[in-house]
Amino acid sequence: MSRQLLIEADGGSRGNPGLSGSGAIVVDRVTGELLAEISEFIGVATNNVAEYRALLAAVKVAYEIAPHASVEVRMDSKLVIEQMSGGWKIKHPDMQKLAIQIHQVLAGRLVRWTWIPREQNTRADALANQAMDQRSSQILLLNENTDAGSETQVPIASSVEFNAALPSSVRAPAGVTKPLTTLILVRHGRTALTESKRISGSGGADPGLSEAGNQDAVAVARELARFGNSGVWSHLSAITAVVSSPMRRTRETAGHIALELGLEATAIQDLQEIAFGSWDGLTNEEAMAQDPDLFSAWQGSWEVAPPGGESLEVFDSRIRSARNQVLEQFAGQTVVVVAHVMPIRGFLRAAMNAGIEGYWRPQISPCSVSVIRAWGGEAAEVVSVNATHHLVTS
C-alpha cells in the first residue's frame, strides 16, 4: 500500500497585494508524524497567489518524500480547494500559471481536496507569517526516510540559500517590482556542420539535427521535465512555455522538448544565430585564409563584421530585442529558449551586465542548459551555465 501524506498549506499578503509569504507542512496521515515544514518569502503578491505558491511548494516536497504517495490537501482557502478540485474555474492569469505547474506535479497521482476552517490551519499560517517576518525561505525536512527507491534525491538543504521569489544574494539591490521570469537557455543539438567544426550562422545553409543531435535533444528534453519536480532543478518552477530560433536545428530541438513537456513551441525571429556572411560553411582556418586581415580585425571587435555578415554591435541590438520580447511575453513564467551559441551568450552577457568579453568567454555546448532568473530589466541572477551532465553516457 502506498504511503499516505497530509498537506496543510496557507498563504498571506499584507496589503493584498503586498508583502507576502506562504507556509505548509507535510504530515504522515497514518502516524501523525511531521515530515516537513516549508516557508517561502514571495515578495509582492496577492493573498490568493501566495496560497497557490504554498500549495505548489508543498506538493513538490511531498513527492520528494514519497513519490508514490496518496495525498490529502487541506487548506482554509475555499477558492483554491474548489479551483484545484475542478469545481470552480480559474480566471486570474497568475493563478492559472501556478495551477498548471501544480497539475504537472500531480499528474497521475491520487489527491483528495479538503476545505478546513482557518483555526484548523494555524501551523501553515504561522510558517507563512515567519516567511514574511524574516523575508526568507526555508524547507526543513524532519524525517530523512523516504520512499524514493533507487532514484537519487537532491538534499533539500541545497535550496536553503535560494530565494524562490527575489534575487538570492543579500547584496542585490532591493525594491524589485517586476515578476520573476526564469529563462532556461538550451543550445540546439549537433548538426553535420557542428560535427565537422564548420561555421554555421544564420545566412548560409540551414542544417537539421544529425543522428547524434537528435539523441542529445531527447536527453535534454528528459532533463527539462525534471524542472520543478526532481533532481538538481527541483527547486525551480516547472516549465510553462517553449520558444526557439526559427532555424531548422533549433526548431527540431525545441520539437523534442515540447513533445516531452506536453507544450507547443513558437519561433522568435530575432533569436536566430549571428550572420557570418561569406564565412558560413567554412572552417575557422578556411575563413582566416580567405580574408586574413579582416579575420584578424574581426576577432575581439565590436564593430567589424564578416563580409556580408553581422558585427557584434548589430547582433547585440537584435538579441536584446529578442530578450525583451521573451521577458514581456512570458513575464512570471518559466520558459525554455532554444537558440544558438551567440544568442545564449548574449542573454548571459545581459544578465551579468558584462563587457564585450561576454560574447566569447562562456562555453556553450550543444544541448547544454544555462539558467537565468530575471525580474524584467530590474534585476537578474545567473543560476547555471553550460550544464551538460544529462548528456553523459555510460
Residue 261 inside a domain? The answer is yes
Print the domain residue range for 285: 181-391
Position 365 scores a pLDDT of 97
Among 57, 77, 72, 65, residue whose Cα is nearest residue 109: 72
- Which of 125, 159, 193 finishes a domain? 159
What pLDDT was estimated at residue 143?
62
Report pLDDT for 233. 84
Q: Quote the CA–CA distance of 351 and 354 in Å, as a whole number.
A: 8
Cα–Cα distances (Å) from 170 to 190, 275, 332, 374, 381, in that order, read 39, 40, 22, 16, 12
- The answer to whether 277 and 204 are in contact (CB under 8 A) is no
What is the C-alpha separation between 167 and 171, in angstroms, rounded?
9
Q: Is residue 171 part of a domain?
A: no
**Which domain-ending residue is among 159, 193, 212?**
159
- Looking up cell 566569447 gives 360
Q: What is the pLDDT of residue 329?
A: 94
Instruction: For residues 273 and 202, give the distance between their C-alpha atoms in angstroms, rounded to a whole number.
Output: 5
In a domain, 174, yes or no: no
Looking at residue 394, what is its pLDDT? 40
Q: Are residues 274 and 387 in the same domain?
A: yes
What number of residues does the chain have? 394
172 domain-assigned = no
Q: Are residues 142 and 100 in the same domain?
A: yes
CATH of the domain at 152: 3.30.420.10
Does residue 338 share a domain with residue 271?
Answer: yes
Burial of 188 (0-12, 13-18, 19+ CB in 10 A): buried
Q: Enumerate the active-site residues.
A: 188, 273
Pairing outcome for strands 111-115 and 70-75: parallel
Structural domain count, the chain: 2
pLDDT the model gives residue 154: 40
Q: Buried (b) or exposed (e) across 343-380, using 16+ Cβ within 10 A?
A: bbbbbbbbbeeeeeebbeebebebbbbbbbbbbbeebb
For residue 165, tell me if it sits in a domain.
no
Same domain, 213 and 90: no
pLDDT in tens, the chain (394 residues): 679 999 999 999 998 888 899 999 999 998 889 999 999 888 888 999 999 999 999 999 999 899 999 999 999 999 999 999 999 999 988 899 999 999 999 988 989 999 999 999 999 999 999 988 887 788 888 865 545 433 333 444 445 567 777 888 888 887 788 889 999 999 999 999 999 999 999 988 999 999 999 999 999 999 998 887 777 787 788 899 999 999 999 999 999 999 999 899 999 999 999 999 999 999 999 999 999 999 999 999 999 999 999 999 999 999 999 999 999 999 988 999 999 999 999 999 999 999 999 999 999 999 999 999 999 999 999 999 999 999 975 4
Residues 214, 79 within the same domain: no
Strand partners, 182: 334, 373
Beta strands in 204-251 (DSSP E): 241-244
In a domain, residue 168? The reply is no
pLDDT of residue 151: 36
Does 127 lie in the same domain as 25?
Answer: yes
Distance CA 341, CA 361 (A): 11
pTM: 0.66
CATH number for the domain that contains residue 234: 3.40.50.1240
CA atoms within a 13 Å half-sphere pointing along the CA-CB vector of 261: 31
Alpha carbons 204 and 224: distance in angstroms, whole number: 30
